[in-house]
Chains A and B, each alone.
Chain A
């Protein structure tokens, strides 16, 4: 049973939710509305007048080679970030799960990396891999490898993926660990007695029983890769080289604020808005039917 607090009048509850409503209105509804509105116009180069184009901006975008390329880049980027961060996190969680049943110390220590701010993490990676003074670049040079993510598109992608995924691992790790610890130990023991060795147990017991956690993380990580990696990309590659790391969010910024093409930029934000709404719907639908097995 849910416990609800009930109020007599309307005024107090209204007052209580007002701050949240104001914040949402000012920082979400207003800009979102403006974006939708602006996406239907093309402003003149000096921003003095706007010309109605209907869905022209969308039409143009969807047939635009660079925009489509950015879609592909985003897909590659999010798949890589999601699979790397979740894969590494799951691996670490499985290892930790064997150790820390009953001991809270490890868990506390393992949470710490999550406290590293994403911006700090981005700068950290940028310095490590700096083409001139980076530590890792220097060691790679000793090994005979010439690292240059400023010129090499693959290396640039690799670096932003690594930096983005790294910041995400401890978050995923925590959820995976909690998920693993929620699996009754006796079920795993029963499987062991039934003849399943570690890998079989993982495949037939642990992984299916972990699927609610995995699904949740999948959605959350895709959303993260789509929207929250802006800082990492901005600090490390600025979308380059040659747009190789320009994911959709970055392109909104690049076209709108750098290229000053507000109509196109707004249309792009609207497309992103639709995408994130879809992901949210998927997630809520799923949470409704949480018990999965």
Chain B
């Protein structure tokens, strides 16, 4: 259990700058999810916390101690890798016991701790098996077990669920959250899946091209995105962006109005904004109606599944409560 602090972290691989100054303060026992598109530097950031990647500039602190030059094994962390990185030549028991053996723990304590983790993760029948004799979900659990037996201060996860099928992913997501709460360990979790981010995070960090665009609780980020990138990345379907010119708002050139699909309502006539229905996707509980606006941009309206759907090609008006609209400047930041 420890706090983790990143202070103005930058990272370059040779001449390529990958991370351009990230600041994050993680409280003791907090579950932080780093989310962002592929290649934005999530793994790199996590690996710098783990000590697997050197920090080009800035400072990493774990439990208040500067760890920039501390080896991974001395940082009191555990990491779950995307491919699990199990030791292929060792059975499940030895995979979990490895770290404890190196730490020189007595045999009895090792056996007890591994047994405890195996019970928690329902791995008891498989302790003698090699990783290649396990299913994907079981391997994932072994990787988790290996992390928890050592009782580290910080858990690091790099897309731990991305190799599982959808159903297992939901189940493991709940288990990870439960486990982290029970153990009270600080966790940093990397994913590109916004559902995982929304459901797991105490606070999430939305990364974009090597910067942390926004840090905050999931709903806060959803409600109040700091940039057009965050607004477009979090939420599915993403927020609609409408040039202010179309809505007749007096605002500087390039300003964009953002409005979530569920906040827009379709009416038969509106003096504010109108367009042509392109197509509608009926998903059962809800219907997504895609509307082409006068300047060609597409907007999405999320309707209740029971509401009447306007026919394709018909002219519709779009209205929304002013409280829900967000304005973004030409540089993409919130006004």
Contact = CB atoms under 8 A, between A and B. Distances in A.
A27 interface: no
B260 interface: no
Contacts of A191: 87, 98
A195 B102 contact: yes
Nearest to A196: B102
Given A195-B73, A195-B102, A190 B85 contact: yes
Contacts of B71: 192, 197
B52 A189 contact: yes
A208 to B, nearest CB: 5
A164 B63 CA distance: 56
Interface string B227-271: 000000000000000000000000000000000000000000000
Given A200-B102, A293-B130, A192 B72 contact: yes
A208 B150 contact: no
Where chain A touches its partner, the secondary structure class is helix
A194 interface: yes
Interface stretch (B76-84, B109-117, B304-312): B76-84
B87 A205 contact: yes
Contact of B85 (A184, A204, A292, A293): A184
Contact of A293 (B51, B77, B89, B146): B89
Interface string B59-79: 000000000000111000111
B99 interface: yes
Contacts of B89: 208-209, 292-293
B50 interface: yes
Given A186-B81, A186-B83, A189-B72, A194 B88 contact: no
Contacts of A205: 87
Given A184-B83, A189-B52, A205-B87, A194 B77 contact: no
Contacts of B99: 193-195
Interface in A165-193: 184, 186-187, 189-193
A208 B99 CA distance: 17
Nearest to A185: B85
A194 B73 contact: yes
B52 A192 contact: yes
Contact of A193 (B50, B86, B87, B103): B50
Contacts of B51: 193
A190 B81 contact: yes
B324 to A, nearest CB: 44
A196 B88 CA distance: 16
Interface string A133-170: 00000000000000000000000000000000000000
Contacts of B98: 191, 194, 196, 204
A197 B73 contact: yes
A194 B85 contact: no
B73 A186 contact: no
Contacts of B81: 186, 189-190
A162 to B, nearest CB: 34
Contacts of B50: 189, 193
Contacts of A195: 73, 99, 102-103
Most chain B beta-carbon neighbours within 10 Å: one of A194, A195, A196, A205: A194
Contacts of B86: 187, 190
Interface string B30-68: 000000000000000000001110000000000000000
Interface of B: 50-52, 71-73, 77-79, 81, 83, 85-89, 98-99, 102-103, 130, 146, 150
Across the A-B interface, the 8 shortest Cβ-Cβ residue pairs: A293-B89, A194-B99, A186-B85, A190-B85, A195-B102, A195-B73, A186-B81, A193-B72
17 contacts: A186-B81, A186-B85, A187-B85, A187-B88, A189-B52, A189-B81, A190-B81, A190-B85, A190-B87, A191-B87, A192-B71, A193-B50, A194-B98, A195-B99, A200-B102, A209-B88, A293-B88
